[in-house]
């Protein structure tokens, strides 16, 4: 939906998280006098002082809060839905059928005058997006002294403005009203943001696809269909950079009309391969691309090296929320991994391949968090019986403190303790950041205790 269409419509912002508040701020700047609806399942008491702050800051808004907040949908023409709100609630499904629901992503794609580089994949989106941003930011920059020597006026615009937006960067509507034709937007796109999208980016990067978010989608095919939107509407002058080793991705890309650029590499090499390829599309010299990669600081919670403490090496891979990423971490670190932390929220994923990989390793200790810790242990027991292999020692716990203490007690010097849970964090942690930060905190804390 473009901005002109919204002008005379009754608009409801659904979801009052970071993205919802950004949408509200954007709409208020665009339509200063319009009464805008705001809906969220939390009660007024859940927002505490935020409600009075919202009224004070945004003026003409109509609040719909509490368990019946979705009933307000029928009173509005356009619903700007936040990605976290489930798509298969009856009221939401009905609104989709009527064409009433839009999103930040759709508004941005319809109205952005600049070039959009969209990055998706079940895993690796954030690192790849950050690396592409780094390469373009550095590679498209022109030195002012050299420009003057070349006889170019300092007032001449010599380089594009590069923006990092989406989950890893600023909320995407923050800069839309100031966006220019020469601007470049590096946009990390989740399946939730791609869902129901009717336009694809000029340059699409598709890293991989594994079963994920099966508590949100009806099945893997629906999840895959949402991801497909990153290339579904591309034209012949667009580009699709894709992982040719991923069969699912390759099948999707076959139908794309865009210029296809295949990349290869193991899980931890894909970000560099994809980002370098995007740099080449923009004709950035090889030496500049290599320099940007060399100076790139790895994002936290992604196979992050915490340190060598009491002779044990600790790695924080808290963003590993599926079995495939834990397997990739084990392949990367090799047989030095002796203690592994697993388990978390149950999204209906299967752990048979992970169990087989663990039994092939030299892992001796497993700390298992609820609720998938039990499923993983069951898969391991079955695999152990089938293969006749010895099971590692295991420890069920719902406390990071206890898990870390147990790891110090059971991990030998010179070996690795790895937090890579193959499951989302929501069963006992707020999110992967809290889980990873608690791991690092207690690893450092107990290192000081003799």
Specify whether 186 is located in the same domain as 42: no
299 lies in some domain = no
Instruction: Find all residues with CB under 8 Å of 367, minimum gap 6, and list them.
Output: 339, 340, 341, 342, 394, 395, 397, 403, 406, 407
107 lies in some domain = no
DSSP string for residues in 165-200: EESSSB-GGGGGGG--TT-EEEEE--HHHHTT----
Specify whether 46 is located in the same domain as 168: no
Specify whether 120 is located in the same domain as 26: no
Specify whether 266 is located in the same domain as 126: yes
pLDDT tens for 378-431 read: 999 999 999 999 999 999 999 999 999 999 999 999 999 999 999 999 989 999
Specify whether 149 is located in the same domain as 218: yes
Specify whether 329 is located in the same domain as 368: yes
Query: Which domain CATH number covers 323?
Result: 3.90.190.20
428 lies in some domain = yes
Q: How many CA atoms lie within 13 A of 324 on its CB side?
A: 14
Residue 50: which pLDDT band, with cuts at 50, 70 and 90? low
Out of 70, 102, 134, pick the residue that ends a domain. 102
Based on the structure, what is the number of domains in the chain? Answer: 3
Specify whether 318 is located in the same domain as 230: no
Query: Which domain CATH number covers 94?
Result: 3.40.50.720
Length of the chain: 450
Specify whether 283 is located in the same domain as 318: no
Specify whether 214 is located in the same domain as 277: yes
- 189's tokens: 């796109």
- Which domain, by its residues, includes 13? 3-102
As a whole number, mean pLDDT of residues 3-14 equals: 95
Specify whether 98 is located in the same domain as 133: no
Query: Which domain CATH number covers 151?
Result: 3.40.1190.10
Residue 8 burial (CB count, 10 A): 9
Out of 102, 130, 153, pick the residue that ends a domain. 102
- Structural contact between residues 117 and 203, judged by C-beta atoms closer than 8 angstroms: yes
- 319's tokens: 């963003």
Question: Residue 151: is its pLDDT beyond 60?
Answer: no
Specify whether 136 is located in the same domain as 272: yes
Question: Residue 42: is its pLDDT beyond 90?
Answer: no
Residue 56: predicted pLDDT: 72
- Structural contact between residues 117 and 207, judged by C-beta atoms closer than 8 angstroms: no
Quote the CA–CA distance of 111 and 150 in Å, as a whole number. Answer: 36
How far is C-alpha 333 from the chain's CA centre? 23
pLDDT tens for 165-224 read: 998 888 899 889 999 999 999 999 999 999 999 999 999 999 999 999 999 999 999 999
Query: pTM for this structure?
Result: 0.93
Which CA distances in Å does 147 have to 143, 155, 156, 378?
6, 11, 10, 65
pLDDT tens for 233-291 read: 999 999 999 999 999 999 999 999 999 999 998 899 999 999 999 999 999 999 999 99
Specify whether 220 is located in the same domain as 160: yes
Out of 61, 81, 102, pick the residue that ends a domain. 102
- Structural contact between residues 344 and 215, judged by C-beta atoms closer than 8 angstroms: no
Q: Which of 370, 318, 363 is nearest to 343 (CA)?
A: 370
Quote the CA–CA distance of 204 and 48 in Å, as a whole number. Answer: 41
């Amino acid at each position: 939906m473009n901005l002109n269409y919204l002008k005379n419509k009754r608009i409801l912002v659904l979801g009052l998280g970071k993205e919802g508040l950004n949408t509200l701020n954007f709409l208020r700047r665009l339509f200063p006098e319009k009464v805008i609806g705001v809906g969220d399942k939390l009660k007024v008491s859940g927002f505490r002082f935020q409600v009075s702050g919202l009224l004070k800051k945004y003026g003409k808004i109509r609040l719909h809060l509490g368990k019946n907040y979705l009933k307000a949908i029928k009173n509005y023409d356009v619903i700007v839905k936040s990605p976290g709100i489930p798509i298969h609630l009856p009221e939401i499904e009905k609104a989709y059928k009527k064409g009433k629901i839009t999103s930040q992503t759709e508004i941005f794609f319809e109205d952005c005058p600049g070039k959009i580089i969209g990055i998706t994949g079940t895993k690796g989106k954030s690192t790849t997006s950050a690396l592409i941003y780094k390469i373009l930011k550095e590679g498209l920059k022109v030195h002012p002294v050299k420009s003057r020597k070349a006889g170019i006026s300092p007032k001449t615009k010599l380089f594009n403005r590069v923006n990092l937006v989406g989950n890893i960067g600023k909320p995407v509507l923050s800069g839309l009203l100031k966006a220019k034709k020469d601007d470049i937007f590096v946009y990390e796109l989740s399946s939730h943001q791609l869902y129901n999208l009717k336009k694809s980016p000029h340059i699409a990067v598709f890293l991989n696809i594994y079963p994920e978010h099966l508590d949100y989608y009806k099945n893997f095919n629906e999840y895959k269909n949402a991801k497909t939107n990153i290339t579904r509407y591309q034209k012949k002058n667009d580009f699709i950079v894709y992982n040719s080793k991923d069969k699912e991705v390759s099948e999707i890309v076959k139908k794309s009309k865009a210029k296809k650029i295949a990349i290869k590499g193991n899980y931890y090499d894909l970000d560099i391969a994809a980002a370098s390829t995007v740099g080449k599309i923009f004709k950035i010299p090889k030496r500049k691309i290599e320099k940007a990669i060399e100076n790139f600081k790895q994002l936290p919670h992604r196979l992050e090296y915490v340190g060598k403490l009491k002779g044990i090496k600790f790695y924080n891979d808290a963003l590993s929320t599926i079995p495939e990423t834990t397997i990739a971490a084990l392949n990367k670190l090799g047989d030095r991994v002796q203690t592994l932390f697993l388990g978390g929220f149950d999204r209906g994923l299967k752990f048979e391949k992970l169990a087989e990989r663990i039994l092939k390793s030299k892992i001796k200790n497993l700390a298992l968090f609820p609720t998938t810790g039990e499923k993983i242990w069951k898969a391991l027991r079955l695999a152990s019986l089938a293969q006749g292999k010895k099971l590692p020692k295991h420890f069920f716990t719902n406390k990071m403190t206890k898990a870390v203490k147990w790891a110090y007690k059971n991990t030998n010097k010179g070996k690795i303790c790895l937090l890579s849970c193959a499951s989302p964090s929501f069963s006992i942690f707020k999110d992967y950041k809290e889980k990873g930060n608690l791991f690092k905190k207690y690893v450092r804390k107990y290192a000081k205790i003799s």
